[in-house]
Homo-oligomer: A and B are copies of this chain.
Amino acid sequence: MSTDDSAIPNFSRGTNGLLPAIAQDATSNRVLMMAWMNAQAFDETLKSGYAVYFSRSRNQLWRKGETSGHQQRVVEIRVDCDADTILLKVEQKGAACHEGFESCFFRTVSADGAAAVADERLVDPNSVYGKKSS
């Protein structure tokens, strides 16, 4: 983990060395998901040209699409003014969301706080992740 204040991105600014990384569709500009990166995930993203995150629940690198095939080819990387948030413009293969939606942001919240599904599923998550239907 870098401790250099001028490092870009500056992983020393993240909690446990993790920074938020936003993935945006390079063509439609739709925001697809938000995940986390540590320095190793970022380096591997740069080198491979495909999005690699750090899974906080599994406590390991998460090579997006390794199981589902739903990889993200990185078209452009941006970093914000404080160098503590990463923006990836990607070509998304399949569905970004593990629930089978194009984007993880498939629900709207209305002014009264009620949530509603606003999008259509692209794929059946059971077919992608090999779960049996009940």
Seen from chain A, the residues whose Cβ lies within 8 Å of a Cβ on chain B are 8-9, 15, 20, 22, 24, 28-31, 33-34, 46, 49, 76-82, 85, 87, 97-99, 101, 104-113, 115, 118
Contact = CB atoms under 8 A, between A and B. Distances in A.
Contacts of A20: 20, 34
Nearest to A32: B80
How many copies altogether?
A: 2
Contact of A31 (B9, B24, B101, B108): B24
A107 B6 CA distance: 14
B80 A34 contact: yes
Contacts of A112: 46
Nearest to A18: B15
